[in-house]
Structure 1
Amino acid sequence: MQQIRPPCPPFLTAADAARKVRLAEDAWNSRDPEKVALAYTADSIWRNRINFLEGREKIIEFLEKKWRREQEYRLIKELWAFHENRIAVRFVYEWHDDQQNWFRSYGNELWEFDGFGLMQWRVASINDMPIAESKRRFFWPQGRRPDEHPGLTELGL
């Protein structure tokens, strides 16, 4: 039986596309690789920085390694554009390494979904900027960003 992950394409309204983006943000902020991987098709294709991945198992391995390195990870995603079964997103996340060096990572993603709402293709371009801990902007408790927390536009990011 095919898994369905609403909202499903075609994305007809900005509200539907923004809901899909928020669900993705929530999953990534869980830092649970297996939960995140369920939003992708079994044969999903990714390009993440210089990494090219195919399939859920590779996605899980990638995310496990990522979140071991990127500690105290907190992410905000924002809808940029949408059309039919595609969504463009910009995002920012903050994290530190095992030496307590803080970073703010800026990026853009292109997503393509199958008819069941699973992401079948993801392309992410990301740049890391070292920041002083005093420059951090994301302070909610680890996990889902509270609804009242400002988004990227409100934060001027």
Structure 2
Amino acid sequence: MAHILPPFTRESAQEKVKAAQNLWNTRNPEKVALAYTDDSIWRNRGEFMKGHKEIIQFLSKKWQKENGYKLRKDLFSFTDNKIAVQFFYEWYAENGDGSKQWYRCYGLEDWTFAASGKMEKRHMSGNDVRITEEQRWFKEGVDVDALTISPEHL
């Protein structure tokens, strides 16, 4: 992901977004953290963190809780070294009786990049909504990029 450098064009911004999507879908905190500068600052909802160590701790905790995590990111807007992203992801929590409660998170992120192509700032706002198994978009085998998300889906 770091090889895609600012200033961005529509094509390179789109490539950066999909590279981030693919990276996050690995659910590998150490690998994901390498896409960020050593002193990267994050806001994720109401949590604030800085640097690789805190990012790895945050992502490890996140993905221990969010089972079945599957993410889609779409380019919203861009400038020379900034990208705005609309995203959707689904995950489930284990209930005490062995059943699953599915959620979909809807949100926006704004990203700022260093000249190296690594992200130096990530701010995320998102909301989790309970969904049923039948309402899921990202079921096993579904290509998240092939799915058409239209206003009636929201």
- TM-score, normalization: structure 1? 0.89
State the partner residue of 1:150.
147
Gaps of 5+ in 2: none
State the partner residue of 1:24.
20
Distance 1:152 1:118, change over 3 A: farther
Cα-to-partner distance string for 1:97-149 (whole Å, 9 max, x where unaligned): 122111010010000000010000000001000011110010245xxx74863
2:4 corresponds to which of 4, 7, 20: 7
State the partner residue of 2:39.
43
| Aligned counterparts of 2:140 and 2:40: Cα–Cα separation in 1 | 31
User: What is the letter of the counterpart of residue 109 of structure 1?
Assistant: E
User: What is the letter of the counterpart of residue 43 of structure 1?
Assistant: D
- TM-score, normalization: structure 2? 0.91
Distance 1:154 1:22, change over 3 A: farther
Q: Which has the higher contact order (CA 8 A, sep 6+)?
A: 1
State the partner residue of 2:51.
55
User: What is the letter of the counterpart of residue 123 of structure 1?
Assistant: H
| Aligned counterparts of 2:51 and 2:137: Cα–Cα separation in 1 | 33
User: What is the letter of the counterpart of residue 38 of structure 1?
Assistant: L
| Aligned counterparts of 1:31 and 1:7: Cα–Cα separation in 2 | 21
Q: CA deviation at 1:153?
A: 5.2
User: What is the letter of the counterpart of residue 85 of structure 2?
Assistant: V
Q: Give me the identity figure in percent.
A: 45
Please tell me whether the aligned partners of residues 40 and 52 of structure 2 are also in contact (alpha carbons under 8 angstroms).
yes
Distance 1:124 1:148, change over 3 A: closer
| Aligned counterparts of 1:154 and 1:15: Cα–Cα separation in 2 | 25
Gaps of 5+ in 1: none
The runs of 4+ residues in structure 1 deviating greater than 2 Å are: 145-157
Please tell me whether the aligned partners of residues 92 and 152 of structure 1 are also in contact (alpha carbons under 8 angstroms).
no
Cα-to-partner distance string for 1:54-105 (whole Å, 9 max, x where unaligned): 0011000000000010000000000000000000000000000122111010
User: What is the letter of the counterpart of residue 46 of structure 1?
Assistant: W
State the partner residue of 1:138.
138
